[in-house]
Structure formats: C-alpha cells, structure tokens
Structure 1
Amino acid sequence: MDMPGAARYDEIADFYATGWADVLDDPASLRLLDLLGPVAGSRVLELACGHGRVSRELARRGAAVVGVDVSQALVAKARAAERAAPLGIRYLHADAARSDLGELRDLPPFDAVVCNFGLSDMDDLEGAVATAARALRPGGAFACSILHPCFPGGQGVSGSWPGGAGYHAEGWWRADGELSALRRQVGANHRTLSTYVNTFRRHGLWMDELAEPEPAPEWAAKRPDAARFPVFLVMRCVKDGGCRAGG
C-alpha cells in the first residue's frame, strides 16, 4: 500500500520508540485518558498508534483495542511488543486518513476513538476525522491531544507553529536545528483551533470537553519562557451530539 508520509516515520521508528516509554505519566496523556473515562469492556480504536504505547495502556485498563498507524516500522514494533506480552491488541498498518480503509470498515463500531498527539502528524485532517467519525457508534467518544495551537515554537522548543511565523499561517512546517529533534526530522502540520473544531463538527463530532494541562514542573523549570504559553490541548467530542448533562 502506497501511503504518503509513511517513509518519514519509518526513518525515525527507533528514535520514537526509545524516546517514549510505556509509562504514561506525562500531563497530556494522563488528561487524555481521564477525558476518555473508564474503558473496561469497551471497544477502542487508536489512530496514529505508533509503537503502541497508548494502545497498551488502554488494553491494560480492560479495553478491546485496535491500533492503526501509517508507519510499517512502528507497527512492527507494536506487534513485537504484543507478541512479547499479549494484551489482545490488533495492529493495522494503514493510513487513517484514507476513505477506503477497508480493514476498519469490516469491523463493528467502536465505543471510543483516541488519537494522542497524532492529528498534527496527519497531512489530511479531514480524512482522519472522517475515519474517526465513521468508526464510532452513535454517542461514542473521540478524544485527542495535540500541542496547543496557540503555542509558538522558540525558546529552544518546538510548538505548534514556528516562532517566526504567525498563528493564522496554517500549513506543514519543519523545525530548525535548535528545536525538537522529532519535528526537525518529520515536521508537523499547524492548524488553528477553529479549524480543528469546525472539522470535527462537519463530521458529526460535537465538542464535549476541553482541557489545557500544564506541563510537568521539571519541563517548565527548564523552559520558563515557553511555559508561559499554553502547551497542550486535550479535547473530547461525542458523535451525533450525544453530550453529557451540562456539556
């Protein structure tokens, strides 16, 4: 399968897998799981699952998990981890933004879809959100985390958009030598908050809750200028307007 963007993630698979351990202790991931709520007995799809870090945590919490990623190298690492310590996770090598994602089309609807820091890696946001919406049952939850769209790069860190540009300048960009090693190698797509929310709504995903977790104290202490900005944004949507009371 020819999948645009696959190669740039294959090339950093070792770096990515060693840089993000299985322990989910970062503020954004923890808040993501909190917004998702209890998952025991639920069917959960993870888009842009990478080497399976979040998928494994969801499975440990009792979910039946399917993970999808565009990088064959990262999926291979996820499958190797599943063989070493089986949790019942099924991993698919596929582009989540493709409308003809037959492997998912043949599966029953999911109770939840999660995407942890993956939307900015996907060149086709519209296609990825369409896949999430199609995969969900009515009333199911879509939870995602991204670098906060209002967080500029600079001060030695890579934000959602390059520090020398502007918030409204959407598009793909690559960090320079002083910023994140990950973004220097694979780049990222910057989109405004309104672009994200409006895309969700076009596909019947209605915003239910937002969170802006603060970075870890040790991170903030090393980057006091960057820590003045909002760093993470975590969002929870519900398919077909099935919002909770008061939402």
Structure 2
Amino acid sequence: MTGAARYDDIADFYAEGWTDVLDDPASVRLLDLLEPVAGLRVLDIACGHGRISRELARRGAAVVGADISEALIARARTAEHDTPLGIRYLHADVSQPFEPDLPPFDVVVCAFGLSDVDDLEGAAATAAGALRPGGVFACSILHPCFPGGPGVSGSWPGDARYHMEGWWRADGELSSLRRRVGANHRTLSTYVNTFRRHGLRLDKLDEPEPAPAWAAERPEAAKFPVFLVMRWVKQ
C-alpha cells in the first residue's frame, strides 16, 4: 500500500486527532529550532493537512506544503481557503524531484513524516535539493531507539530487533495512528548517514521528554527516549 492510500483512508481521523494546537514537546522544540522564520521561504514536506505549515505561516514565513495524500492536501487547501495565510499546497510525492519553478528555500521542515515516507533516500535528496546553501533542514521523528512499553508500540516490531529495518504496522492499543497506517523503522545511523550523503551537516540534536500527562499514562514507556528532533545545515 502506498503512502497516499494509507492516509487517504484515514484522513478524517488524522485531521481531527492532530489539530493546529501544537503544544507537544517535539513540535514545540522543532519550531524553536527554526526561529526566527519571519520573511523566510519554507518547504514543509509530508505536510499532511498543513498544521505545521499554518503555524509557520502565522509566524511570518512564506510556506509551500507538499504531501502524497490527496485527501490530506484537500483538507489543507480548504483550511487555506477558509483562513488565507498565503500557503501553497502541492499534491506530490516528496521522495521525487519537485517542480523546477520552485526557487531555493531557506528552510525545509518535516514533522513526524519521515517514517511515513518509504523512500528515505529520495526524501533526503528532495530536502537537500530544495535548500539554498546554508539553508536548514529540521525534522522530528519517533526516536529510532524507542522500545515502547505496555500498550505502546516501539519503533520496531516487538518480535524483531532494533537493527531490523522496514515497514510494519504497530499493534499497541495506545498507538492509534501507527496501528492504522504503520511506519518505517530505520536505525539512527541510517538517518544520519543518509542525510550526510546529501550534503547536510548535523547542527543540533534534541531528545525532548514527552508531556507529563503522556508519561503518567505510560510510565514504563516514558523511561526511554521517545522523540528525536534534528536540525541540519546544507553545506
């Protein structure tokens, strides 16, 4: 099943569950790593229904959002129509080359989208290729080393090993999204080495702790690193 079909089938569930309220620690830190964005050109890859795109536009960035899911892009365009922020949304596979008329961007961002992209090499090429020299690529992901806990699926299947990469569908009762769309597990070294191959230099790496309410409901899972946020600079 393609990334398009996975999210097209659950677009309503996703849009209703992940709103424009961006108060989770990983999103807060991701946005902090991009500031100041006022006046910058930003490309949001795997943008979904545009929640990060809209926040960046509210902060003064000129934003283009792209996603493979036609259903989610339709919701993003509806939001832009209802409350115009000057965002352009593209229905596009972010692991493929983008439109040639797009000028270089100052920033490329990807919020929790890389595990949904089957072709990481292609996505890294798109991100690096869209940036001007010295531009910033920032991303947030479920920590590749997160083993999960009772009711919470980790980054890799429970009957597998950390070093076994590939797509899989979570079964944890509290892992509601990944039960529906699955995820690609990759090791931390795979992420780092892939980005390095495309001329991106690691500038900042953070492992924000989950929100207290999340941790209180999942105390065993909260003992481990849950989120990873990275900022890279194009050389």
Q: Shorter-chain-normalised TM-score: which range?
A: over 0.9
Question: Identity across aligned pairs (percent)?
Answer: 80
- Matched with 2:56 is 58
Distance 2:41 2:150 in 1: 41
**Partner secondary structure for residue 67 of structure 1:** strand
Amino acid in the other structure paired with 2:96:
R
5 Å matches for 1:190-205? Answer: 190-205=185-200
Question: Cα RMSD (Å) of the superposition?
Answer: 1.2
- Matched with 1:210 is 205
Q: How big is the shift at 1:23?
A: 1.3
**CA contact under 8 A between 1:32 and 1:144: conserved in structure 2?**
yes
**CA contact under 8 A between 2:66 and 2:90: conserved in structure 1?**
yes
- Matched with 2:233 is 238
Q: How big is the shift at 1:42?
A: 0.1
Distance 1:216 1:76 in 2: 31
Q: Unaligned regions of 5+ residues in structure 1, if any?
A: 241-247
Amino acid in the other structure paired with 2:44:
E
Q: How big is the shift at 1:163?
A: 2.6
Count matched residues. Answer: 235
**CA contact under 8 A between 1:115 and 1:145: conserved in structure 2?**
yes
Structure 2 residue aligned with 1:75, among 73, 80, 87? 73
Q: How big is the shift at 1:4?
A: 3.4
**CA contact under 8 A between 1:154 and 1:179: conserved in structure 2?**
no
**Partner secondary structure for residue 134 of structure 1:** helix
**CA contact under 8 A between 1:153 and 1:162: conserved in structure 2?**
no
5 Å matches for 1:22-61? Answer: 22-61=20-59
Q: How big is the shift at 1:157?
A: 1.3
Structure 2 residue aligned with 1:162, among 157, 164, 167? 157
Amino acid in the other structure paired with 1:176:
D
Distance 1:27 1:97 in 2: 27
**Partner secondary structure for residue 219 of structure 1:** helix
Deviations 1:68-109 (A, max 9, x none): 00000000000000000000000000000013x3x2x21110
**Partner secondary structure for residue 95 of structure 2:** coil
**Partner secondary structure for residue 15 of structure 2:** helix
**Partner secondary structure for residue 17 of structure 1:** helix
Distance 2:136 2:215 in 1: 31
- Matched with 1:112 is 107
TM-score by length of 2: 0.97
- Which stretches of structure 1, 4 residues or more, deviate above 4 A after TM superposition? none
**Partner secondary structure for residue 134 of structure 2:** strand
Amino acid in the other structure paired with 2:67:
D
**CA contact under 8 A between 1:138 and 1:239: conserved in structure 2?**
yes
Amino acid in the other structure paired with 1:38:
P
**CA contact under 8 A between 2:42 and 2:108: conserved in structure 1?**
yes
Q: Unaligned regions of 5+ residues in structure 2, if any?
A: none
TM-score by length of 1: 0.93
**CA contact under 8 A between 1:49 and 1:115: conserved in structure 2?**
yes
Asked whether 1:173 is paired with 2:171, we answer no
Q: How big is the shift at 1:155?
A: 1.4
